[in-house]
Amino acid sequence: MIVLAFDTAQGALSAAVHDGEGPLSSAFELRTRGHAEELLPVIETVLAEAALGFSDLDALAVTIGPGTFTGLRVGLAAARGLALALELPLVGITTLEAIAADVVANEGEAVVAAFDAKRGEVYLQAFDAEGAPLAEPALVAVADAGLHLPRLKLLLVGTGAALLEEVLHGFERRLADAPAQPQADAVARLALKRLEAEGAAAFRVAPAPLYIRAPDAKLPGGRDPGEAA
């Protein structure tokens, strides 16, 4: 099964093509704006490098958040459009899952994926050493993060990892040597596992964005932008 995955949700843009054995091609660049203009060219580039076309794809995968409102909308809109046009299943993967997937933890160690959400807050989620979630994604004050984490040895990853490392006194902790931004290859790997476990038919309905913090922007009439998803 060949999967095209991409991410525009946080502070980067990445895309990858994966065939279940390994990445056929991938691209990654740190980017906080311009995702809408650059996403399709990057997708076309990774497909060309893999010597594939859109007709060769079996499934799509995209990050659904948490992340920036604009970045999430760009990625999800592109993914939904491609899934509809190509009649492909679309798997949604959270950005927290994606960064945790690139971490190698020791037995008995919990992986804490965290993104700096500004305003003294972090998005975070803890996973066990095998990648199973230990809690739901949450938005918490940095100073209170310890109240939301298991009393285990902690392996911290993500743009919020350094913030947590400074405040988690009383926890045995270390910083992971892994990417702080989501990588499309990890998104593809996670999507392939879900497709194998649940089947393509389970992903015919487009995933919704994961908004943990309500968007600051409002649509005309005061509606939340998530209503237009």
CA dist 191 to 154, 197, 204, 221, Å?
A: 25, 10, 13, 37
CB 16 within 8 Å of CB 5: yes
Return d(Cα 157, Cα 70) in angstroms, integer: 23
Nearest to 186 by CA among 79, 61, 98, 64: 98
- pLDDT above 90 for 219: no
pLDDT digits (tens, 9 = 90+) for 81-122: 999 999 999 999 999 999 999 999 999 999 999 999 999 999
Q: Does residue 222 have a pLDDT over 60?
A: no
pTM of the model: 0.92
pLDDT at 228 exceeding the cut of 90: no
For residue 213, what pLDDT band results from cuts at 50, 70 and 90? confident
Q: If you count DSSP H runs as helices and E runs as strands, how many of each does the chain have, helices first?
A: 5, 10
Question: What percent of the chain is predicted at pLDDT more than 70?
Answer: 93
**Residues 116-165: tens digit of each pLDDT:** 999 999 999 999 999 999 999 999 999 999 999 999 999 999 999 999 99
The distance in angstroms from the start CA to the end CA of the chain is 28
